[in-house]
Structure 1
Amino acid sequence: ASDLIKFFSVIIKVCVVIPFFCVFLCFVAIMLQIFASHRQFLDTSRYILFAHLLINDTIHIVSSVLTFLTLMGQVKLPLLFCVPLFFVSTGTFQNTTLILAAMSLERYVAIFYPLQCPNSWRSDRVWIIALPLWIISFIFPIIEYFIGKDGQSVDVLSTNMLCKNTVMNSSPIHELYRLFVNVLSFAVVGVIILFTYVRILMETRKMRQDRASVSKAMHTVLLHGFQLLLCLLGFTQPIFITLIGLHTNWLGEDIVFLNFFCFILIPRFLSPLIYGFRDQSLRKHIRNWFLCCSKKEICLFLCRSRLHPFCL
């Protein structure tokens, strides 16, 4: 009976996660399609960096969902498959904060250097900013994986384990390294976002003309701060797991699920959703996309029913 209850519990958890995952993928696909089909977005550094954020968060959620499914099923995979999942999941988690810092700095440059924008921040060269962020974010998990390794050869095909960071890198030095990297990256990004917000706020008080655009930039940076707070929810996982374990009799699988749903899936789902619908230009194109799709569906239905005059 207990095995049957556990089986249905896993099925319910998967049925909760997969719809969220599919909706997120659909929404991201729509926004990326809008970016690719409208030149105004491709010619703006801010939207290019936001597209990087969307791609990064999508990769992170895909790797996290795959890891979640293997943990729910208690499936042990060869090290050859677990290590890339670990690199991708950890690297994209770090990269989110770095891209948010870059987006805040882009608003700072756009306000303070509107006519003398540095070449690296131009839309056709913003990859010079984005590429190092991707490289730096993936260096951290590579260093973490090789810390403390004694050089002994391991059969990556026959060594099976749960694809979990704390299983692959469980020594105290790994935990200390993870804490150091996370605190350092979030502290640096937090300082950058706070600095840009304060400077733009001061500029808003000085300027008499074009206050609207400066105020809009200030609110955008504030939104990046909120997105950073959503990412910071990931740091509350150990505290949350400890409190749940002390005050409840929940199974480990249930705690893992609640932790994944509340601190990984929901924040990554909300971040692009809030930013996408807040932006006026992007919101207009998203609305037009849905209206266009709904009209196509209606016309297709009428044609199939022989009710549309052009289909008669």
Structure 2
Amino acid sequence: MEANNSQTGGGSSVHEINDKVILVQVFVSVFLCINVLLIITFFMKDSFYTTTRYILFAVTLLSDCLFLLMTDILLIFSYFRFAIQMWLCLIVYTVLSLYTFVTPVTLTAMTLERYVAICMPLRHAELCCTRSTMHCILIIHGLSSVPCIVVLSIFFASVTHSFYTQGRICSVEIFIHHRWQSHLRSAISQFYFLIMVILIVFSYVKIVKVAKAASGEDKKSSWKGLRTVILHGFQLLLCLIQLWCPFIEAAVLQINLMLFINVRYFNYITFILAPRCLSPLIYGLRDEMFFHALKYYALCGLYKKPLGLF
């Protein structure tokens, strides 16, 4: 009787999961189309790729596109139980692990850029020039690669050469062979979380002080910068909660398989898709210059260009 109930529940669950997978495809397709349009807009105007905040914005868009595309492919492979060679899974994991951190670290850098622009306006041109931005992007990717390097170094020391030729369903759990590896990975994530939260709060407090002391146009600009920092903070929080998801899912898996599937789906929508759709909102719609450029290119030049923006 229990077995029959399980099979019945499993059949309805498969149908439910199928609906969810289709819904994810719709969300991912919409976000990718929006991000691609924003990227095209970025490269169509010279002033965008010579300005620090727009360059960093483009980095988040490219990072999000790659991350969403690869996680969606893994989701489909996992749903259809499609096994791939471990060496290929290793490459996929390396890229995903890197870009899991690239977005939140870049958001932190964008927050610091707003802090410099508002609290240190006389040094903004010096500190946020194109050359410094290129160095910043290298630093961002260097910092983001540290957790991946640590996990993979332990993994390489733990497996034999034959492991790389095996075919398995690709997931992050494959690279965690011992409980202490999970604890180490968690500790690194929490350290990054702490540092980024401190920088966000520091920038917020400093901008608040400047906003209260400013007047006229400066005050308006300062409060706008403050709202941008708040949105970055919320987006960053969602991205960083994503770093905790594997540990929550591992604990839930020990309780119930279907609960684990539902929790993983919720985490994917809330902490992977949602924060990556906030980037177009923060700079694609709230930024006046970028919004007018986006509207102009989206309408194939039919939108009248405001004077001074093009």
Give the TM-score normalised by the residue count of structure 1: 0.83
- Counterpart residue type for residue 101 of structure 2: Q
4+ aligned runs moved over 6 Å, structure 1: none
Pairwise CA distance, 1:8? 4.1
State the shift of 1:187 in Å.
Answer: 1.0
TM-score by length of 2: 0.83
Larger radius of gyration: 1
Q: C-alpha separation between the residues in 2 aligned to 1:75 and 1:30?
A: 32
* Partner secondary structure for residue 121 of structure 2: coil
Aligned to 2:84, the other structure's residue is in SS state strand
Report how far residue 191 of structure 1 moved.
0.6
- Pairing 1:79–2:86 present: yes
1:65 aligns with 2:82: no
Amino acid in the other structure paired with 1:259: N
Give the one of 216, 220, 223 matched to 1:215.
223
After superposition, residues 223-234 of structure 1 pair within 5 angstroms as 223-234=231-242
Q: How does 1:221-260 map to 2 (within 5 A)?
A: 221-235=229-243, 237=245, 238-239=247-248, 250=258, 252-260=260-268
Q: Which amino acid aligns with 2:23?
A: V
Unmatched tracts of structure 1, length 5 or more = 296-312
- Residue 158 of structure 1 deviates from its aligned partner by 2.2
| Aligned residue in 1 for 2:307 | none
Partners of 1:126 and 1:249 in 2: CA distance = 45
2:275 to 267, 274, 285: 267
Q: What SS does the aligned partner of 1:132 have?
A: helix
For residues 292 and 100 of structure 2, the distance between their equivalents in structure 1, rounded to whole angstroms, comes to 30
State the shift of 1:76 in Å. 2.1
Q: Structure 1 residues 244 and 167 mapped into 2: Cα distance closer, same or farther (>3 Å)? A: closer
Cα displacement string for residues 41-61 of structure 1 (whole angstroms, at most 9, x for unaligned residues): 123111111111111111211
Query: Is 2:113 aligned against 1:106?
Result: yes
Q: Which amino acid aligns with 2:45?
A: H
SS of the equivalent of 2:168 reads: strand
Partner SS, residue 25 of structure 2: helix
1:277 to 282, 285, 291: 285
Which residues in structure 2 correspond to 1:112-261 (within 5 Å)? 112-117=119-124, 119-147=126-154, 149-150=156-157, 153-155=160-162, 157-208=164-215, 210-235=218-243, 237=245, 238-239=247-248, 250=258, 252-261=260-269
Gaps of 5+ in 2: 1-6, 304-310
Identify the range of structure 1 (64-73 vs 226-235) with the bigger mean alpha-carbon deviation: 226-235
CA distances 1:42-96 after superposition (whole Å, capped 9, x unpaired): 2311111111111111121122112211211222221111111111112111111
Question: Quick check: 215-224 or 11-20, which moved more?
Answer: 11-20
Amino acid at match of 2:115: Y
Which shifted more, 14-23 or 191-200? 14-23
Q: How many residues align?
A: 294
Q: Distance in 2 between matches of 1:204 and 1:25?
A: 36
Residue range with higher mean Cα deviation, 51-60 or 266-275: 266-275
1:1-57: per-residue Cα shift (whole Å, max 9, x none)? 868656644542332111111111111111111111112212311111111111111
Amino acid at match of 1:229: L
Q: 1:252 to 1:186 in 2, by over 3 A?
A: closer
C-alpha contact (below 8 Å) 1:97/1:186 kept by paired residues: no
Out of 21, 34, 37, the position equivalent to 1:14 is: 21
Shift of 1:196: 0.8
RMSD after superposition? 2.8
Instruction: Specify the code of the residue in structure 1 equivalent to 2:180.
Output: I
